[in-house]
Amino acid sequence: MSKILSRAALGPLFALVTAAHAATVTPPPAPPAVPFTKATVIAGARFFADHCSACHAVNNLRYKRMGADLGLSAAVIKKSFMKPGGANYLKGMQPAMTQAEAKKWLGLPPPNLSHMARALGPRFLYTYLTSFYWDPQRPSGWNNHVFPNVAMPNILAPWGGIYTKNGTLLVPGRESPAVFDRHVADVVAFLRYASDPSIFERRAIGRYVIGAFIILSILAYLLKKDYWREVHDKDDHSGSQKSATRKPTRKD
């Protein structure tokens, strides 16, 4: 009897605690402002080449182009970005595994990431990469909060740690959350660059182009003002002739 009573008392208590917990649990924090400089893109590219490139292609981005944009020599690119053997310096970034192998192992061929950052946006990519959780029901053992039942396993687990669905840490990662977040942001910065490799070139020359057009506008404005002076003067003049009460114009 007392057992039933205590259970009856505990039930609402549990409900209350759960509700309070749900109310205090804040939504996942906003991603850090993804830094976007050549240094972060290079750091992201190195991580990408070491790990992501095992499965994912970036077909449209040639190694040569990447080297030219990021200021890396062909030797560096060949040594630390290209997978041994298969990749061609003059062609796009290729994954280490073939499409057929990937399909056999993962169920789906991993997508080409050339346009992914522009299609999904850097904020989504960042949140996606940091939202994996352990789910024994999935064939890979992984699931994702923002992309449910995704086929991709959490390859970032060794760095970021393994979390359960409600956010408790099962196995801590090699890196502290702050460092890990920073690394993910680097990878996202690289994907942003890969989806529009003109970005550094654009930023470098943009200010000169805009400056030239501003100078052109200022000169054109001065020219226009000079030409139109006589029109405004004529108006003032004829106006003063028409009404004698109007005060004399500047010329008078």
Partner 1 sequence: MYDTQWGWLVRYMHVDGVSLIFILLYLHMGRGLLYGSYRNPRELLWVIGYLIYVLMMGEAFFGYILPFGNLSYWAGQVITSIIHAVPIIGPGLTTLARGGPGVGTATLERFLALHTVLWFLILAACIGLHILALHKVGSNNPDGIEIKDRKGPDGTPLDGIPFHPYYTVKDVFGVGVFLTIFAAIIFYAPTMHGVFLERTTFFRANPMVSLPDVTPPWYLAPYYAMLRAVPNKYEGIALMVAAVIMPFFLPWLDRCKVRSSRYRPVYRFMILLMAVTFFTLAYVGEQPPLPKYFLIERLGAAIYLGFYLLLPIISRFEPTRPVPERVRS
50 belongs to the binding site for partner 1 (CB under 8 A): no
CB of 249 to partner 1, least distance (A): 12
Residue 62, beta-bridge partner list:
92
Q: Which helix (H) or strand (E) holds 189?
A: helix 177-195
Q: Which is nearer to partner 1, 174 or 246 (CB)?
A: 246
Q: Which is nearer to partner 1, 86 or 206 (CB)?
A: 206
Query: What residues numbered 136-165 form the site for partner 1, per CB under 8 A?
Result: none
Residue 146 and residue 125: Cα distance in Å, rounded? 10
Q: Which amino acid is at 139?
A: P
Residue 210 and residue 130: Cα distance in Å, rounded? 38
What x-and-dash track marks residues 56-75 binding partner 1 by CB under 8 A?
----xxx--x----------
What x-and-dash track marks residues 174-203 binding partner 1 by CB under 8 A?
---------------------xxxx--xxx
Q: If binding means CB under 8 A, how many residues of this protein chain bind partner 1?
A: 37
94 belongs to the binding site for partner 1 (CB under 8 A): no
Q: Which amino acid is at 163?
A: Y
Q: Which is nearer to partner 1, 7 or 234 (CB)?
A: 234
Nearest by Cα to 98 from 90, 88, 110, 89: 110
CB of 151 to partner 1, least distance (A): 16
- E strands, the chain, in order: 58-62, 92-93, 132-134, 142-144, 162-163, 169-171
Q: Within 10 Å of residue 147's Cβ, how many Cβ atoms?
A: 15
Nearest by Cα to 97 from 63, 50, 53: 53
31 belongs to the binding site for partner 1 (CB under 8 A): no
Query: How far from the centroid of its chain's Cα atoms is residue 247's Cα?
Result: 64
Query: What residues numbered 115-134 form the site for partner 1, per CB under 8 A?
Result: 115, 118-121
Binding site for partner 1 (CB under 8 A): 60-62, 65, 114-115, 118-121, 195-198, 201-203, 205-206, 209-210, 213-214, 216-221, 223-224, 227-228, 231-232, 235-236
